Amino acid sequence: MHQTGAMTVPAEHRQVMIASLPQGRLEPSDFAVRTAAVPVPGEGEVLCRTIALTIGAGQRAGLQGSASYAGAPEAGRVMGGTGVAEVMTAAGGLLPGDVVWAPTGWQEYSMHAPKVLTKLDPTIDAAEHLGVLGTNGLTAYFGVRDVGAVQAGDTMVVSAAAGSVGHIAGQIGTILGARVVGIVGSADKARLLTERLGFAAALDRRSSDFRADFKAATPDRIDVYFDNTGGDLLESALFRMNRGGRIACCGVVSQYDTNNPAGGPRGVPGLLINNRVRMEGFLVFDFAHRYDEARAQMSTWMREGRLTALVTEYQGLASAPQAFVDLLAGTTTGTTVVRL
């Protein structure tokens, strides 16, 4: 144990390591928990204690190696990830006890330069900071508003619509006046979207009637497709886009949990030309200068009861690998949060 100002820090902490890069589907055994020394901060460094982590499907892409925006994690490293943490040591204007958004990784303690930390309102729960007000919510906000450019009266389709980004994207579409159709992986999730989150319709992509259901649910075809999956759903949507339609490419979850990604969707580029469709990939980081705008708007919508955050919670750092496997298997809804 060592003392840092008023805070007491143990000598050792637990970390979740990447034991092996997954071959095929991710398994809990691709990770291993180990005990390591808590780092001692030097001048200008901030030691943080992780309060909660969020896990996103996009992190699986990182484990595929060089093809991802997230860089290339390697076996033997601490698994990366974003969390809410408590500041243990003063530096760069931050004081012990401050609550921050940090690239904690999957570990109990982490050390950072102050500039990578964002101070948060400590009266708001960590799950909200990691969900609606975090990367998931910001991704949904800019993807729907700026990339999808949703207009009132549009038909908007969202894939992985009960997921961390999808459930927020769909609700933002509704708030902006679109008729929103969600695509999910189970009938239970479909009911959740229509009964609790105000989606106009929701479809189970595993249903044998999916093709017919998809047509029936989009009688005016599709103006905006918010794509979290790529693959077959992207291809299906391409064939139903309206002239001038927009496809916001947010994620490719259908291709993450595999070493054998499928070919690209038929209809590219032919259908893009015939229907003058714009397809645009984006990452939330490109909108960093507008995060405050987005968070203020989302907070207002939540206060007004127009935006509901779904969260699936796990307890304890050691549950993180199973939470990740569950997320990829589609058994979680909303933001997946691991509380330490």
Please state the closest distance from residue 277 (CB atom) to a copy of itself, in A. Answer: 5
Please state the closest distance from residue 223 (CB atom) to a copy of itself, in A. Answer: 15
Residue (87 or 277) nearer to a copy of itself, CB: 277
Residue (9 or 234) nearer to a copy of itself, CB: 234
Please state the closest distance from residue 326 (CB atom) to a copy of itself, in A. Answer: 23
Please state the closest distance from residue 268 (CB atom) to a copy of itself, in A. Answer: 4
Whether the upstream peptide bond of residue 103 has omega within 30° of 0, thus cis, is no
CB-based contacts of 265, cutoff 8 Å, min separation 6 = 230, 231, 232, 234, 235, 238
Q: Which phi and psi (to 5°) does residue 278 adopt?
A: -105, 130
Please state the closest distance from residue 73 (CB atom) to a copy of itself, in A. Answer: 15
Residue (254 or 333) nearer to a copy of itself, CB: 254
Residue (113 or 262) nearer to a copy of itself, CB: 262
Residue (20 or 255) nearer to a copy of itself, CB: 255
Q: Cα separations (Å) of 165 from 57, 141, 231, 311? A: 10, 9, 18, 11
> What distance in Å separates the CA atoms of residue 99 and residue 130, rounded to the nearest whole number?
12
Please state the closest distance from residue 93 (CB atom) to a copy of itself, in A. Answer: 32
Q: Cα separations (Å) of 143 from 81, 82, 136, 173, 244? A: 21, 20, 10, 10, 17
Q: Cα separations (Å) of 58 from 77, 127, 314? A: 18, 18, 19
Residue (274 or 331) nearer to a copy of itself, CB: 274
Please state the closest distance from residue 67 (CB atom) to a copy of itself, in A. Answer: 7
Q: Cα separations (Å) of 43 from 113, 220, 241? A: 10, 61, 56
Residues 230 and 261: beta-carbon distance below 8 Å:
no
Judged by DSSP in three states, 270 sits in: helix
Alpha-carbon torsion (33, 34, 35, 39), positive or negative: negative
Residue (114 or 261) nearer to a copy of itself, CB: 261
Residues 120 and 100: beta-carbon distance below 8 Å:
yes
Residue (69 or 206) nearer to a copy of itself, CB: 69
> What distance in Å separates the CA atoms of residue 223 and residue 179, rounded to the nearest whole number?
10
For residue 87, list its beta bridge partners: 48
> What distance in Å separates the CA atoms of residue 64 and residue 116, rounded to the nearest whole number?
25
Please state the closest distance from residue 252 (CB atom) to a copy of itself, in A. Answer: 5
The contact set with a copy of itself (CB under 8 A) reads: 61, 67-69, 227, 230, 234-235, 247, 249-252, 255, 261, 263-283, 286
